Amino acid sequence: MSTRIETHHRRTVVGMLKPIAVLACAVLLGLTGCGDDTTEGSTDELQAFYDTLREQAAAFDYVEGEYFDDYSDANFYALAFYARVGVELEDAAYLQRADEIHDYDLSVLQQANSDPEWSAEHLEEVLYAALGLIEHASATGETDAIATLDTFIDLSNFLVGIYDNYLDVSLGEYAADTYGPTSITGGLALLNLQYAKYLDTPRTQDRIDAAVEIVQAIDEQAFDGERYLFRPGEDKLFLYPNSIMILVLNRLYELTGDRDYLERAETAFEGVAPLRHELGFYRSPYSAEYMGAQTDEYSTLSSQNYFNLALLLLYQNTGKQIYLERFEEILTFLRLNLYDDAQGRLLHHWIDGHIAHPDDLEYFCSGCNLQFLYIVWYLKSVVGV
């Protein structure tokens, strides 16, 4: 397998009032009217930004389907973005890139299935490859990865079952300690649900049933009635476990029709309200100390991306404008404050009043930029606003 499987330290995720207000509509590509004089121009500006980022993404460090400087995110979001947009636009270059990433991701998953110990050590790399392959299969209709996906998901569910459906153990070189057992376990539940959402196979109901059991265990271990905990007994409020669980609960609602899941997702949204910063982002305390933040004015591109995906699903399933408003605030903040014009890319984080610096422990995540592009595609083509 031509691969450099290496788990990096994960991505450790103000404008003036007038430009924020002007770009509010643009961020949502015409979601709502903010005044006839500004909407069209703002939308054009946001579209230009999106197009520029797409062009820059084509130059990210990449060899035969494998991205570098991506913190594993590209396995999921590069494949999802290029497959979805490639099919939608009938873009041969995008589809070629998607095929290359597909082959790389499939090789990662095949290695994971043949070597469970290696898989556990590279959990992020493998999990994102599986999620990317699901998106590719859904977009293209190709089924060559289904059997490999089934094997991996069965093995993952067996592993989670050994630990009573809550993985409060050290897996991966960084994942469990950084994002916490609730996020990691929730991610494996989400894998089952993305499969059930996007693929029509004889195993679909099995995947839903497995996710139901995992979520029940997570609720028993880590839901305090208001928010999801990093791990049992950890009282500090974190964004990641709640973002992941909001995604999981929304997918469960969509697949089962049980409104209790949706109500719990809305409760978790309210639970992270104290993390909301007046500048328009949600604080990311999971890596603030590691990155050397001296204030609570710290947030990562990755964490905001995941929360924005959660907000989009909440909006899809409830129709409540508050979720689009929060989404808009975050996307506007990222657009105005994390984009480096000289490099033509979004940088890794905002810290103590300024954008990431090259001397920071982490500086740029190509996978997070591709995730941002996927989110804009999802907003336009799936949410439809």
Q: What is the DSSP string of 224-279?
A: -SSSB-SSTT--S--SHHHHHHHHHHHHHHHHH--HHHHHHHHHHHHHTGGGB-TT
> What is the DSSP-derived secondary structure letter of residue 298?
E
CB-based contact 12:287 (threshold 8 Å): yes
pLDDT at 32 over 90: no
- pLDDT at 266 > cutoff 70: yes
Instruction: Provide Rg for the chain, Cα atoms.
Output: 19
The CA distance from 359 to 362, in Å, is 8
> Alpha-carbon distance 272 to 19, whole Å?
26
Q: Quick check: 47 and 58 in contact, CB under 8 A?
A: no
pLDDT score at 33: 34
31 pLDDT tier (thresholds 50, 70, 90) = very low
> How far from each other are the two terminal CA atoms of the chain, in whole angstroms?
41
pLDDT band at 26 (very low <50, low <70, confident <90, very high): very low
pLDDT tier at 47, thresholds 50, 70, 90 = confident
CB 123 within 8 A of CB 183: no
Q: Binning pLDDT at 50, 70 and 90, where does residue 174 land?
A: low
Confidence of residue 287 (pLDDT cuts 50, 70, 90): confident
What pLDDT does 290 receive?
A: 81
Q: Residue 353, exposed/middle/buried by CB under 10 A (0-12, 13-18, 19+)?
A: exposed
Of all helices (H) and strands (E), which one includes residue 351?
strand 349-351
**Distances from the Cα of 146 to the Cαs of 34, 104, 269, in angstroms?**
45, 15, 34
C-alpha 204/C-alpha 227 separation (Å) is 29
**Is residue 27 very low, low, confident or very high in pLDDT (cuts 50, 70, 90)?**
very low
Is the per-residue pLDDT at 195 higher than 80? yes
Asked whether residue 28 carries a pLDDT value surpassing 60, the answer given is no
Residues 6 or more apart whose CB falls under 8 angstroms from that of 261 comprise 215, 249, 250, 252, 253
Residue 77's pLDDT band (boundaries 50, 70, 90)? very high
Phi/psi of residue 44, each to 5°? Answer: -60, -40
pTM here? 0.87
pLDDT at residue 179 is higher than 90: no
Q: What is the mean pLDDT of the chain?
A: 87
CB 229 within 8 A of CB 181: no
Closest-CA residue to 260 (of 285, 223, 205): 223
Q: Is the pLDDT of residue 122 over 60?
A: yes
